[in-house]
Structure 1
């Protein structure tokens, strides 16, 4: 760029020596200045014609309207701005849903596009107003407004600044909770899991969820979930960024077991109970007459279908479990039920 708008009146004090009741007329040629004709009409907003350009000035006594006989000249010139183009930068970046840090940090380069010989350039990068770099490049490691101020210092000591910016907004996997709708030991043995309290880096994001190896879905409800430990996954519906996960446990019991040493259902225990806060839950097993056959631990192998080392016959057996419900209140519960031993 070789033209610019200058405020020539900034030279008034220098030319008049701060003498009161004195103004200044400016001209584009010495001849006009000597003849006192064709004065620049708007000296506070003068656009240069050549680069550099000599400006001529004469002081004027505002009381008498007389101009001084002395013509003063000075040079104006346009220095190239330290321009850098960041218009292709900015946009959304994937961040960690908890820390807000970029998952894949990268750098952008604000180096002056057309550096001039003999000009010194300095760089100041900020993110949301805080200093992050004094180099031409900056690392994008979080969302925010990244702004670079480039200062060009020319050989005559003058300097010019140019400011460019790139704005990065955050998107992330969701932060969420997963809850089991029904209380433990429901009649069907199947449960409903709901995803609640969904948040993320971008409130406008659309999310989808999956449970275990199932497909992702926009619905936040899963039905027919079996007892045990399950993992609920969440991600952006676009498929961008990472996948977050929440583990849930559903407490229930097997309706039957077959202790025949074939590797399938050989022992019986409460499902999903052997984790905190139920590591010390109490489980009692009785025959149909109420005789205590075994007390087992939720973290043990379970009941193998014997009493005093002798196999018990195929029949229905009863249990009582004293445990803590996995809910917001940590409700203490005692549940009784029965199951079948099959041989």
Structure 2
């Protein structure tokens, strides 16, 4: 049967089952203006009455905030691929009871839930400063709409990562690290310098400048932030290096009597290359086929620490044995390369010869025939003997050379 009459009732909160009639509410529909329990009685005629009840509860609209998403490009274009969900926490003010219904291109589409964006987590803006609308709902289904503005800026343009060296011979003088900013006024950026030595936790150096003076090896990271909020970083790895210290020059005889080999021994934290008489640097500290006489060794740090280290050295040429038996061969002992030495030295002292106990056996002129193997007019025993000689350069600097030889009978 068709309904002939309607009557609406209301039970106010707190509900007690006592419905009161709503005056004038006699239509099929009723517009609710407050929460409560509502009942409608429908007169179907012939004494038949049907009724139904519904509880109406009000809930607040979600509180949302419009926001921006920033995309930072390295390719200097106006387009960037966003994950639109990155904006949700700011839109909802971190209210986890709210959730995203969907994202839309237009406000009306968000209201009508029409034409949702399906690739919201991989969305490339279509125009500059594009506006996207997101429909936010609460558990009651109440919805609010917030706006996301997509801004695309350029990352600061900087140099790449860099490896440099700190020269220990310059300590405690610092070296200056540079942020590597290539474009823009350095004062328009914020800088954060971090340091790690591989042992301790990363340290924030609290330096907001485009350069940093340092005296310690380690990995330095500078973060550069533009006024638009784009952040890039680069690492500068600082390794210690040093000039060399020449500790020894080992001279070895060769099968060619006029030539020798040398090995240069050094200490230091550098990466070294070597040259003799400023001719062709090499990585090996061993040189073969050198002539007897005066030479200059140069040791260069390939990492750039200066100055190059140089050392003058002289290889004396002399018999390793002599046989003073008056047979006309090897009857005298003396230096062999005196004349070539005097090209580089102003003078050569007399040569003092000792026995193994340090007793002076003879003092000879390097320009004479040499020692004949006699001491105070007597023949000495065949054994090893030592000698010393001073080489005096043109500035008066004295270089003392020593060596030994054998007397054989």
TM-score tier after normalising by the smaller chain length: 0.5 to 0.7
Distance 1:31 1:16, change over 3 A: farther
User: How far apart are 1:168 and its partner, in Å?
Assistant: 7.6
The corresponding residue for 2:252 is 181
Q: Deviations over 1:139-161 (max 9, x none)?
A: 5878876542112456xxxx442
C-alpha distance in 1 between matches for 2:222 and 2:230: 14
* Aligned partner of residue 108 in structure 2, secondary structure: helix
From 107, 118, 121, give the equivalent of 1:30: 107
Gaps of 5+ in 1: 274-280, 287-301, 306-311, 325-332, 339-343
* Aligned partner of residue 32 in structure 1, secondary structure: helix
C-alpha distance in 2 between matches for 1:23 and 1:266: 97
* Aligned partner of residue 151 in structure 2, secondary structure: coil
- Is the contact between residue 23 and residue 59 of structure 1 (CA under 8 Å) also seen in structure 2? yes
The corresponding residue for 1:73 is 146
C-alpha distance in 1 between matches for 2:178 and 2:289: 47
- Count the aligned residue pairs: 273
Q: Does 1:215 align with 2:293?
A: no
Q: Does 1:255 align with 2:321?
A: no
The corresponding residue for 1:42 is 119
Q: Deviations over 1:193-234 (max 9, x none)?
A: 2346899745xx8x4420xx463464732445547x864223
User: How far apart are 1:121 and its partner, in Å?
Assistant: 2.7
Q: Does 1:164 align with 2:234?
A: yes
- Is the contact between residue 100 and residue 142 of structure 1 (CA under 8 Å) also seen in structure 2? no
Q: Does 1:123 align with 2:191?
A: yes
* Aligned partner of residue 263 in structure 2, secondary structure: strand
- Is the contact between residue 100 and residue 201 of structure 1 (CA under 8 Å) also seen in structure 2? no
The corresponding residue for 1:327 is none
C-alpha distance in 2 between matches for 1:2 and 1:247: 65
Q: Deviations over 1:285-330 (max 9, x none)?
A: 25xxxxxxxxxxxxxxx5579xxxxxx9998354774689xxxxxx
C-alpha distance in 1 between matches for 2:232 and 2:183: 12
The corresponding residue for 1:84 is 157
Q: Does 1:268 align with 2:323?
A: no
Q: Does 1:234 align with 2:311?
A: no
- Is the contact between residue 59 and residue 67 of structure 1 (CA under 8 Å) also seen in structure 2? no
Distance 1:9 1:144, change over 3 A: same
Q: Deviations over 1:178-205 (max 9, x none)?
A: 312259xxxx697432346899745xx8
| Structure number, greater radius of gyration | 2
Q: Which structure exhibits the higher relative contact order, with contacts defined as CA atoms closer than 8 Å and separated by 6 or more residues?
A: 1
C-alpha distance in 1 between matches for 2:305 and 2:156: 33
Distance 1:58 1:107, change over 3 A: closer
User: How far apart are 1:74 and its partner, in Å?
Assistant: 2.2
Q: Does 1:113 align with 2:113?
A: no
* Aligned partner of residue 181 in structure 1, secondary structure: strand
Distance 1:265 1:35, change over 3 A: closer
Gaps of 5+ in 2: 1-76, 197-201, 319-332, 339-344, 376-383, 389-402
* Aligned partner of residue 316 in structure 1, secondary structure: coil
Q: Does 1:193 align with 2:262?
A: yes
Distance 1:72 1:113, change over 3 A: same
* Aligned partner of residue 33 in structure 1, secondary structure: helix
The corresponding residue for 2:8 is none
C-alpha distance in 2 between matches for 1:246 and 1:318: 37
User: How far apart are 1:83 and its partner, in Å?
Assistant: 0.3
- Is the contact between residue 282 and residue 321 of structure 1 (CA under 8 Å) also seen in structure 2? no
